[in-house]
Amino acid sequence: MPIKIKIGDAAKPPPQATIALKVSETLDGNILISDHEKMNIVIMPQDGRIATYPKAYAGDGIYEYQRDLMDSLFEGGVVGPDSIQGGLKFGVLEGYYNIENTKVDPLQVALLEIEKFIKKTDMDEVKAEEYDKNIEDRFTDPAPDETTELGKIKPEEDEPYRQSQGPLGNYSFVGYGYLY
C-alpha cells in the first residue's frame, strides 16, 4: 500500500480585511497607534485594555473623540459598556475587552474597529477644515443665487416703521444707570 504525502499547495484563505495604521510596539509589548490627530491609542494585549491619551497641544474637544472611540468600540462588540472608565492619569479614557475569546482574535477585531473609527473621524476633520477654509469666501464672494442687485432691497434703517422706533428700538425706559 503506497503512502501519499502532499507538501506545499495548501490553499490559504484570503484575508477578510486589511488595515493601514501607524502602529509601533512599546518595550513592554503594548501597541501604540498614533494615526489620530488629537489622541494616541494604546492597546495592552496582555491586560485586554484599550486606553486613549490626549496628544500635547491638540486643543479642545479631545474628550469627545475619546468618548466616540469608546462608543464605537462598544457598538463594534469589542469592549463592554461597563468596562469604559477614566484612567489613572487625568485625560485618559480606557476600556477592557475579553482576551479569552477563542472564536476570533480580539486584538485583530480591536485594530479593525479602531481603523474604522479613525477613517470616519479623518473624513469629518477634512470636511470641517474645508468648511472653515471656504466660509469666508461665501461672505465675500457669494454664489449668484444667494445675492440680490445693489439697491433692489432697501436697508432696514430706511423703512418708515424703523424710523418711528428711535435709536433704542422698542425700549423706552432708561433710568438709574440701567437699560431696560
Please report, in angstroms and rounded to a whole number, the separation of the first and last CA atoms in the chain.
108
Tens of pLDDT, residues 31-58: 999 999 889 999 999 999 999 999 888 7
Residues whose CB is less than 8 angstroms from the CB of residue 68 and which lie 6 or more positions away in sequence, other chains included: 117, 121
Residue ranges of domains in the chain, CATH in brackets: 23-140 (3.30.1360)
Pairing of strands 93-96, 85-86: antiparallel
Tens of pLDDT, residues 70-113: 999 999 999 988 999 987 778 899 999 988 877 888 899 999 99
pTM: 0.67
